[in-house]
Every structure is written in C-alpha cells, then in structure tokens.
C-alpha cells in the first residue's frame, strides 16, 4: 500500500516538473491517519494530481490514533480517522486553527478467516462476540456449527488476530461487539486500542489480512476493501433483525442509510436495524483545520470538492461505500467554513 501512495506522490511531483513549475510553486498537503481509507485516498490524490499538477498531496497510513495525534500536534495539514475525534481530542487542537471533521467515504468491517476447503460461513452475534472474548475457541464449537448445517467444521483451534496499532477499524468493530454483547461491553468495550485478553497482534488492515492468510485456523477483522482486494473469505454476520447478511455495497449502504447524520458529522452505526443491513459499518473522516494559508486552503478545497463529487465513483470498485447523497451534499456545504489565514 505504501508503494501505491508513494506512486501518487511521485506522479504529482513529476507532473509539476512537466509543467516547468519550481518547487516553491508547488502547494504541498501532508496527511496521516487510518489505513482503512488509504487505497481510496491514493486513487483520489493521483487522479487529482493529473488535473492539478501544482499540488503535491502526501498521505501516510499509520493508523487512526497516530493520525489524530499528528493532527492535534499540527505536524500534518490533515488527518484521517475511522474513529472521528473525541471532544477531548478536538479541544486539544489549537483554537486559532479550529477543527472540521468531514466524512469522505465509508466501509464495512468484515471477519476474514483461514479454513481452506470450507464453504462460506455464517457467524451469529453470540459466536462473533464469543470468539473475540476468547470463549469460543474451536471451529467446531456448537455456537458456530448450529448456523452452518452440512459443513464439516474442523476441531481446529481458533487463532484470533487483532490490530497492534491504535485503529479506527478496531473502534468500529469493538463498538459493534459492545452493542451486541453486554459481556464484551463490560470487559473490553469500544476502543481504538483495547486491552485484548487474547489474539496475535498485527499492524494495519494489511497486516491483519497477511497474518490471517499465513495462519491456519485464524480469524481477524479488516476493512471490506482489504478483503476484497485479496480475495479473502468473509463470513456472513447476523444482524439485529436476526438475518445473516454478507458484506456488499447494498447491505452496507442499507446500514448507513439507517443513521441520521449529525451537525458535527459524527455518527455511529453500531447495530443497524434494517433486515437487509450488514451489521458493521463505519464512516471514515478527514480531519481538517478551519484555517490555512490561502494557497493551501484553495488546494484543499479543490481536493475535497473532487473527493465528494467525482471521486465518489471510485469508492465501490475499491470496496468502499459511497456516501449517501445527502451526506455528501452536507459535507460540501461545510467546506465554506474553511477559511484563509
């Protein structure tokens, strides 16, 4: 993924050179944050560079927690987080700069597993929570077997893989498990970096995916786009209505559509109610300041306008959920609050 992001950066610089612009004339935007939106950001930034050769956009996918920290410390021009920002975190940003959180895309969070030769599995709410509580420890456990009749589940130990870094993907996943399991909510709870009692640690969505692929009997949680790009098996999960739903654009969009966007753009869909909704979805936010120097402001506004309009067409092919039209329109209107120093 880093190579892809670097390619977008180098493409932008090369185009700037082709336009006979000096380094001083290139407007630079640097960001860091969640690994979940990184492939889509890379696509956007590379495409944007073609039409705007004087803008260099760099993004480091270091995890949502790191993105928030760098944004607070103002060592980046923008951050990205799948866990938004808490009120306390927002209060730590320089008041002279201000904070604007913008949802740019969304994603389903899926459970991938390594059981070669096994047909697609269904996991109930009790089974999903039990696995990550360390109470469902074998693949032929009755909680799994009862929802998968006709499948010869092995007596293989379940090897849980979780994130090692502070992660918005983890927050969305643990927020859902907390909503469906009182025991999980009490013992672990929603967190970007929870105190897991079990599990092998891996960094980033790609790291979890690679570890699951290399570990027979493993299970882990990743963004849908990560699983899709790697052609990894994904479980159908039981939603609030009791239906087992596979992660698709339609099922994810149904979940997103069940939540009303707030004025501050922070909304969680911890346990969506529609019978056709996939149960674990999250928005992912770009963290912006409300004040930039004029050239940076103009470049960022152009980039954000592109991302919220034409850029949305790139979401589904890369495994993301396009923003609901009303949410995209509301986010574009909020751009007017970004001013120049």
User: Are 228 and 132 contained in the same domain?
Assistant: yes
Which CATH number belongs to the domain containing residue 172 in this structure? 3.40.190.10
What does the pLDDT read at residue 24? Answer: 55
Range of the domain at 37: 2-106+281-340
Determine contact, residues 154/115, Cβ cutoff 8 Å.
Answer: yes
Residue 21's pLDDT band, with cuts at 50, 70 and 90, is very low
User: Are 74 and 130 contained in the same domain?
Assistant: no
Residue 249 inside a domain? The answer is: yes
- The closest alpha carbon to 232, from 206, 252, 201, 256, belongs to 206
User: Are 100 and 60 contained in the same domain?
Assistant: yes
Could you tell me which residues come within 8 angstroms of residue 319 by beta carbon, excluding any fewer than 6 positions away?
39, 107, 223, 224, 225, 226, 227, 228, 229
pLDDT digits (tens, 9 = 90+) for 322-335: 999 999 999 999 99
**Residue 201 parent element (H or E):** strand 200-202
How far, in Å, CA of 41 to CA of 45, rounded? 6
User: Are 122 and 95 contained in the same domain?
Assistant: no
pLDDT digits (tens, 9 = 90+) for 193-217: 999 989 999 999 999 999 999 999 9
Residue 152's pLDDT band, with cuts at 50, 70 and 90, is very high
Taking all residues of the chain, what is their mean pLDDT, rounded to a whole number?
93
User: Are 138 and 199 contained in the same domain?
Assistant: yes
How far, in Å, CA of 74 to CA of 257, rounded? 34
User: Are 85 and 126 contained in the same domain?
Assistant: no
Q: Work out the average pLDDT over 45-65.
A: 95
Q: Work out the average pLDDT over 260-266.
A: 93
User: Are 33 and 89 contained in the same domain?
Assistant: yes
User: Are 304 and 170 contained in the same domain?
Assistant: no
Residue 275 inside a domain? The answer is: no
The number of domains in the chain is: 2
- Integer-rounded Cα radius of gyration of the chain: 20
């Amino acid at each position: 993924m880093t190579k892809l992001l670097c390619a977008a950066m180098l493409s932008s610089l090369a185009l700037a050179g082709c336009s006979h612009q000096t380094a001083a004339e290139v407007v630079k935007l640097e960001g860091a944050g969640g690994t979940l939106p990184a492939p889509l950001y890379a696509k956007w930034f590379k495409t944007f560079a073609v039409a705007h050769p004087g803008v260099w956009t760099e993004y480091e996918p270091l995890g949502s927690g790191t993105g928030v920290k760098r944004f607070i410390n103002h060592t980046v021009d923008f951050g990205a987080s799948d866990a938004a920002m808490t009120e306390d975190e927002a209060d730590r940003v320089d008041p002279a700069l201000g904070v604007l959180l913008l949802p740019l895309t969304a994603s389903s969070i899926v459970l991938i597993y390594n059981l070669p030769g096994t047909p697609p599995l269904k996991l109930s709410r009790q089974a999903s929570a039990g696995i990550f509580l360390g109470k469902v420890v074998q693949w032929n456990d009755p909680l799994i077997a009862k929802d998968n009749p006709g499948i010869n589940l092995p007596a293989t130990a379940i090897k849980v893989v979780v994130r090692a870094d502070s992660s918005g993907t983890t927050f969305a996943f643990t927020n859902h498990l907390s909503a469906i399991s009182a025991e999980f909510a009490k013992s672990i709870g929603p967190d970007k970096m929870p105190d897991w009692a079990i599990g092998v640690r891996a960094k980033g969505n790609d790291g979890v995916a690679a570890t699951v692929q290399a570990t027979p009997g493993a299970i882990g949680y990743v963004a849908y786009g990560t699983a899709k790009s790697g052609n990894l098996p994904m479980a159908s999960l039981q939603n609030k209505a009791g239906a087992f739903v596979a992660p698709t654009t339609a099922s994810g969009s149904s979940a997103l559509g069940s939540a009303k966007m707030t004025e501050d753009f922070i909304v969680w869909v911890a346990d969506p109610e529609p019978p056709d909704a996939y149960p674990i979805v999250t928005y992912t936010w770009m963290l912006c300041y409300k004040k930039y120097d004029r050239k940076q402001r103009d470049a960022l506004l152009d980039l954000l306008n592109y991302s919220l309009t034409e850029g949305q067409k790139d979401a589904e092919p890369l495994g993301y959920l396009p923003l609901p039209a009303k949410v995209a329109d509301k986010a574009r209107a909020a751009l007017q609050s970004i001013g120049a120093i």
